[in-house]
Amino acid sequence: MHKDKLINIFNKNEQLISIIGLGYVGLPLMLTFAEKGCKVIGLDIDENKTNLINQGLSYIKHIKKERIQTLSEKSLIMATTDFAEVSKADAIIICVPTPLNDFREPDLSFIKNTLKRVIPYLREGQILSLESTTYPGTTEEIICSEIKKLGFKIGENFFVVYSPEREDPGNENFNTSNIPKVLGGSTKSCCEIGKILYKKAIKKVIPVSSTKTAEMTKLLENIHRSVNIGLINELKPLADKMGIDIYEVIKAAATKPFGFVPYYPGPGLGGHCIPIDPFYLTWKARQYEMNTKFIELAGEINTSMPKYVVNKIGDALNDCGKPFKGSRILVLGISYKKNIDDMRESPSVELMKLLQNKGSIIDYSDPFFSQFPPMRKYAFNLKSVPITKKNLNNYDLILLATDHDSFDYDFIKQNSKIIVDTRGRFETNSKIIRA
C-alpha cells in the first residue's frame, strides 16, 4: 500500500521534495524540480545560503537570481536550516560533499552527519535518494543499515535509491534537466519509485540493477576522464622536449571520425570530482586485496603537473635573467575550469602556493572572484587585479592558469613581457611558453 500511495502522490503531482545540500549540485536540482511544478524544500546547514534563496538571490554565478525569484514568488521553493521539515517530504534527496581525508581515504562525515539530522524525522512512505559520489556499497552499508534500525522495511514501507549527480557547471548545452540520470534502487520497488520521482524533472532516467552498479557507474565516468587526462599530461612534457606542439597533435588526431576522443593537458586537475572520486575506488579495492594501478598512476601524473608548470616558469624567468625570488607574477584565472566561480581543488591555487614558497610576489586576476575567497587549505589576502596595459607591464611574468573566455587574449599578449600558457590559448612565440 505504501508503494501505491507514494506512486499516486507523484502521479497527482502532490509530492513535496526535500533536497539536502544546496551547493553546485543541490541548488540546480532544486530549481529544476520546481520549474517542472514540484514543491521543493531546500535544506542546508549554511544559514547564509538559505537566507539568500528565500530573498530570491543566487550565490552561484552561473545560476541567475531571476530563476530563484520566479520560483519563490510562485511558492514552489523555500529554504531552511530546520531538518524537522524532512518529516513533511515525500522524497528526500541528499547532495552533500564527499571529500578525501589527508590520507586519501573517503570522508563520509557529511553523509553520516546528514543522516543523524534526518533520522528523527523519517516516516513510512518516503523515498530517500543519495546523489553524493561515493564507493560501491555506501548506500547499502550506511544509508540502508541506518534506516533498517528504525524498523522500516526497505522496498515495502520505505524506499532507497542511489542516483549520482552529473552536474557540469558552466556547460551551455547540458543542464540538470537534459543530462540522462542513472538510477539504482535497493529493491525493484525502490527503483520503480525512484524513476517516477526523477522523471518529474529529468528527461531521461537510466535504471540499473542495483545501488552498487549506480555508484560504480559514477566512479567509472570520472576515472575514465582522470586516466585519459593523465595520459595526455604525461605526453605533454615529452612532446615539449621533442619540439612538438601537443595541442596541434590533439587537433589532428581528433579529425579521426571514430575511436578517438580528444582530451587536453592542463596545470593539474580541479573540481570536486576528478581529483577525488577515483580514489574512492582505489580505497575500496584494497578491501578486496586488489590494486588499481592505472587509477593511481594517473593520479600521480595529474598531481605532479603544478610542479611541472613551476619548473617551466623557472626556465622562463631564467631566460630573462630573473630568479623566482622577488619576481612579480600575475596568475590569470583561479577557478578550477573556465567560465565558472568554483575553486574546489583548483590547480591555480596550488600554483600560487608553490610560487609564493619560492619567493615570488603573486597576484591574480579573475572576473568571477573580486577577492580571494576563504579556503580550507589556502589563504591569500588578495584582490583581483584589473587587466590593464599598466598592470600587465608591472609583472615579470603572466601565468595563464584558467582560460576564461572573457579574458582579452590579444590585449594580454600585446602588453605582457612573458606569458606561460597552461591551456593552449596562445600561439607560441619568443615571449609565450607552453606549459
Count the neighbouring beta carbons within 10 Å of the beta carbon of residue 305. 25
Phi, psi (deg, nearest 5) at residue 208: -125, 175
Cell 540522462 maps to which residue?
180
Averaged pLDDT for residues 376-389? 92
pLDDT at 1: 62
Single out the residue of 88, 141, 89, 91 nearest to residue 111, CA to CA.
Answer: 141
Question: What's the Rg (C-alpha) of the chain?
Answer: 24
Q: Is 275 helix (H, G, I), strand (E, B) or coil?
A: coil
pLDDT at 272: 74
Averaged pLDDT for residues 177-193? 97
pLDDT at 330: 98
Measure the CA–CA gap between 435 and 417, rounded to whole angstroms: 16
Measure the CA–CA gap between 435 and 312, rounded to whole angstroms: 6
pLDDT at 312: 96
Instruction: Quickly state the pLDDT bin for 194 (edges 50, 70, 90).
Output: very high
Identical fold for domains 2-209 and 248-434, yes or no, is yes
pLDDT one-digit tens code per residue, 333-351: 999 999 999 998 899 999 9
Q: CA of 352: how far to CAs of 196, 346, 348, 406, in Å?
A: 47, 10, 6, 21
Q: Where are the domains of the chain?
A: 2-209, 248-434
pLDDT at 376: 76
pLDDT at 340: 92
Mean of the per-residue pLDDT values for the chain?
95
Q: Is 80 helix (H, G, I), strand (E, B) or coil?
A: strand
Assign domain 248-434 to its CATH architecture.
Answer: 3-Layer(aba) Sandwich (3.40)
Single out the residue of 372, 266, 113 nearest to residue 274, CA to CA.
Answer: 266
pLDDT one-digit tens code per residue, 47-80: 999 999 999 999 998 899 999 999 999 999 999 9
Assigned CATH class of 2-209:
alpha beta
> How many CA atoms within 13 Å lie on the side-chain side of 141?
10
State the alpha helices, DSSP H only, in 56-140. 65-73, 109-118, 138
Share of the chain above pLDDT 70, in %: 100
Close Cβ partners of 363 (under 8 Å, ≥ 6 residues apart): 328, 329, 330, 331, 382, 385, 395
Measure the CA–CA gap between 188 and 283, rounded to whole angstroms: 29
Close Cβ partners of 382 (under 8 Å, ≥ 6 residues apart): 362, 363, 364, 371, 372
pLDDT at 276: 87
Phi, psi (deg, nearest 5) at residue 54: -70, -20
Q: Which helix (H) or strand (E) holds 39?
A: strand 39-43
Close Cβ partners of 27 (under 8 Å, ≥ 6 residues apart): 42, 53, 58, 60, 63
Task: Judge whether residue 116 has pLDDT over 80.
Answer: yes
Are the beta carbons of 151 and 186 closer than 8 angstroms?
no
Averaged pLDDT for residues 284-303? 92
Instruction: Quickly state the pLDDT bin for 378 (edges 50, 70, 90).
Output: confident
Phi, psi (deg, nearest 5) at residue 68: -70, -45
Residues forming a β-bridge with 159: 127
Averaged pLDDT for residues 2-23? 95
Single out the residue of 219, 104, 211, 99 nearest to residue 155, CA to CA.
Answer: 211
Measure the CA–CA gap between 177 and 241, rounded to whole angstroms: 45
Q: Catalytic amino acids? A: 273
Please list, residue by residue across 63-91, b when 16 or more beta carbons sit within 10 angstroms of its beta carbon and e when fewer do. beeebbebbbeeebbbbbeebebbeebbb
